[in-house]
């Protein structure tokens, strides 16, 4: 899905070519989730989808909301269903969240991010594995 970034730099963020590439990335993630669901693995794995940055025109270095805001989505047995994340989220939060979802000790690691506790399902019985992708 790295071509999304290449298309954005060549044709611009939100250009027709970029939006078409996003549709292809969305279809790929949809296929992955459908495949997990059809095989029953959606009850074992958490899927995290995020982008590394946003963009504006042909750039992603300016401090605009379109640049600084990214999608960060988690779906699976350990995450709350249809829950909008409140407050800021950073890609730095992804690794600590994956550790938390898998119940792997991470507090001793010098990460800048934090686990997104608010997305965790209440009363989950066992740790699920994390499966993630970036767009």
pLDDT of residue 28: 92
- Which has the closest alpha carbon to 91: 108, 66, 110, 116? 116
74 three-state secondary structure: strand
Residues 25-76: tens digit of each pLDDT:
999 999 999 999 999 999 888 899 888 788 888 888 888 888 888 888 898 8
| Domain extent for 122 | 3-134
CATH code at position 116: 3.40.720.10
Q: Domain tally for the chain? A: 1
* pLDDT (tens digit per residue) in 80-125: 888 888 888 888 999 999 988 888 888 888 889 999 999 988 655 4
Q: Where residue 10 falls among pLDDT bands split at 50, 70, 90?
A: very high
Residue 128 is predicted with a pLDDT of 54
């Amino acid at each position: 899905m790295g071509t999304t970034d290449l298309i954005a730099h060549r044709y611009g963020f939100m250009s027709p070519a970029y939006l078409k590439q996003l549709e292809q990335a969305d279809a790929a993630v949809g296929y992955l989730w459908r495949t997990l669901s059809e095989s029953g693995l959606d009850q074992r794995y958490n899927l995290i989808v995020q982008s590394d940055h946003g963009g504006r025109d042909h750039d992603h270095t300016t401090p605009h909301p379109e640049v600084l805001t990214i999608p960060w989505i988690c779906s699976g047995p350990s995450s709350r269903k249809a829950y909008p994340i409140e407050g800021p989220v950073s890609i730095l939060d992804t690794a600590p969240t994956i550790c938390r979802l898998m119940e792997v000790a991470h507090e001793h690691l010098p990460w800048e991010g934090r686990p997104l506790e608010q997305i965790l399902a209440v009363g989950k019985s066992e740790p699920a594995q994390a499966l993630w992708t970036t767009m």
